Amino acid sequence: MAKPASPRPLRPATQLVRGGQMRTNLDETGEALFLTSGFVYDSALQAEQTFTGEVEHFQYSRFGNPTVQMLEARLALLEGAEACRATATGMAAVSAAMLAHLKAGDRVVASRALFGSCYWIVANLLPRYGIQTEFVDGSDLAQWEAAFRRPCQMVLLETPSNPMLELVDLKAVCDLAHKAGAVVVVDNVFATPLLQKPMRLGADVVVYSATKHFDGQGRVLGGAVLGSKKWVEEVLQPFIRNTGPALSPFNAWVILKGLETLHLRVPAMSRSAATIAQMLEERSEVEQVCYPFLSSHPQYELAKKQMSGGGTLVSFALKGGKETAFRFLDALRVIDISNNLGDSKSLITHPATTTHSKVGAEERARLGISDGAVRLSVGLEDVEDLVEDIAAALDVAAGNPAPKKKPLGRMVVEDSVAPAQAVAKPARKAPAKKKPRPEASAEAAKPAAPDAEPELFPAATQRRKRG
């Protein structure tokens, strides 16, 4: 049986564990997973009344689903927003928020320092539909002011930005944008709702990639749009209902469980990120370190004003450009090369050749993304292991001899349930750049035959073979 609601407002840690849960009459402890595409009605009349809105009843998971609704309620509580809609990915959240609101003839002003796909939407997609767009240097208030001299319907910005952790003064830009009549959309992925509350500073809409810190364990994709009840119900919901970027109930359930530890993961990861940023500042191989809570960050005062922590990402530029950056990435033994972020595993990427490869060299130069820049998403490993891994890889990148490489233990997929492409190919050789994992078993760490990869999970593979 449902308990009476708490008479007091709940704190974030409690909201993340309990917020939005709707128990069924079976009194389950955990959030129920309603893995269903549709719902049935007691009668034709009930179906009709559901569609006219006279009766509240789930209709179809593209429009709403109980597990997804629990996630939406939890996120709205955490953000302090009136309403939330979950989406299949972060990009579905960004595009839905923009396309639901805008029409031909409207004008959008965006900070230039955006995630690559967000940049593409503003630069390439919106103009195709007759929407004018203009980029400004997000850190320069004079440029925002100038851009708002002409009518503007929407602002899109990211702070801290991906990948160079540039900040936008949220309060100042929201005030200016509102005077120009614009709705302000803030992509708050890097800060998370724990470290920055854009709505308290004036943002109208906040978007997230739930793929990042919300899941936080590299399992599923998801996204969320938060705003006022009126805007979400009248503007966003009809767009979502009819265009279909719905989040899978399974993914919603995974993200709900991920959220339960968000308040433990994000502060721990941020503490490690700050330690690593400080350590990097001491290294002569590093040209520049970007971390909002380093006093050397050009917007340090603003970071302290609008964020309660520096975040889980550190970007830094290595002297020597792409070649040195690649040598550094390939020499890491704990941190993985991956373009995802916000994961419990530390992940590193070279933005110029991955996340921001499509924005072009000229634009990258304007954004300060040099060929030596790398973006590190700091995970939950022991920070000493991360510091040692980075220090050793910096030595290698600087030309000191590389440690001897051991073959990587990995599951062989070719003769088990593998994608068609993998089945068709001969067994792959262990790529030379791969690194030995500390967690690989002694068996797996033995040198492999030249044309075979060692099996990390031989028993599992055999089970599959028999099945």
Ligand X SMILES: Cc1ncc(COP(=O)(O)O)c(C=O)c1O
Q: Which of 203, 221, 269, 456 touches ligand X (CB under 6 A)?
A: 221
398: burial class by Cβ within 10 Å (0-12, 13-18, 19+)? middle
Q: Is the Cβ–Cβ distance between 31 and 16 less than 8 Å?
A: no
State yes or no: residue 158 binds ligand X (CB under 6 A): yes
Distance CA(346)–CA(379), nearest Å, equals 4
State yes or no: residue 211 binds ligand X (CB under 6 A): yes
Total residues at the site for ligand X (CB under 6 A)?
Answer: 14
- The one-character DSSP state at 228 is -
Q: Which is nearer to ligand X, 116 or 403 (CB)?
A: 116
Q: Which is nearer to ligand X, 89 or 299 (CB)?
A: 89
State yes or no: residue 215 binds ligand X (CB under 6 A): no
Q: How far is the CB of 35 from ligand X (least distance, A)?
A: 21
State yes or no: residue 223 binds ligand X (CB under 6 A): yes
State yes or no: residue 189 binds ligand X (CB under 6 A): yes
**Closest of 58, 81, 79 to residue 231, by C-alpha:** 81
Distance CA(366)–CA(112), nearest Å, equals 9
State yes or no: residue 455 binds ligand X (CB under 6 A): no
Q: Is the Cβ–Cβ distance between 443 and 454 less than 8 Å?
A: yes
Q: Which of 111, 133, 153, 209 touches ligand X (CB under 6 A)?
A: 209
Residue nearest ligand X by beta-carbon distance: 90
Distance of CA 181 to the CA centre of its chain: 29
Q: Which is nearer to ligand X, 163 or 454 (CB)?
A: 163
Q: Which of 31, 72, 79, 187 touches ligand X (CB under 6 A)?
A: 187
By CB under 6 A, what part of segment 236-295 binds ligand X? none
For ligand X, what does the binding mask look like between residues 35 and 54, x meaning CB under 6 A?
--------------------
Q: Which is nearer to ligand X, 91 or 286 (CB)?
A: 91
By CB under 6 A, what part of segment 83-102 binds ligand X? 89-91, 94
Q: How far is the CB of 207 from ligand X (least distance, A)?
A: 7
Q: Which is nearer to ligand X, 148 or 214 (CB)?
A: 214
Q: How far is the CB of 223 from ligand X (least distance, A)?
A: 5
Q: Which is nearer to ligand X, 209 or 312 (CB)?
A: 209
| H helical segments located in 332-457 | 361-367, 383-397, 420-424, 442-445
Distance CA(344)–CA(33), nearest Å, equals 24
Q: What are all long-range contacts of 129-134, with beta carbons under 8 Å and residues at least 24 apart? A: 129/102, 129/104, 130/104, 130/105, 131/102, 131/103, 131/104, 131/105, 131/106, 131/107, 132/106, 132/107, 132/108, 133/107, 133/108, 133/109, 134/107, 134/108, 134/109, 134/110
Distance CA(70)–CA(251), nearest Å, equals 12
Interface residues with ligand X (CB under 6 A)? 89-91, 94, 115, 118, 158, 162, 187, 189, 209, 211, 221, 223
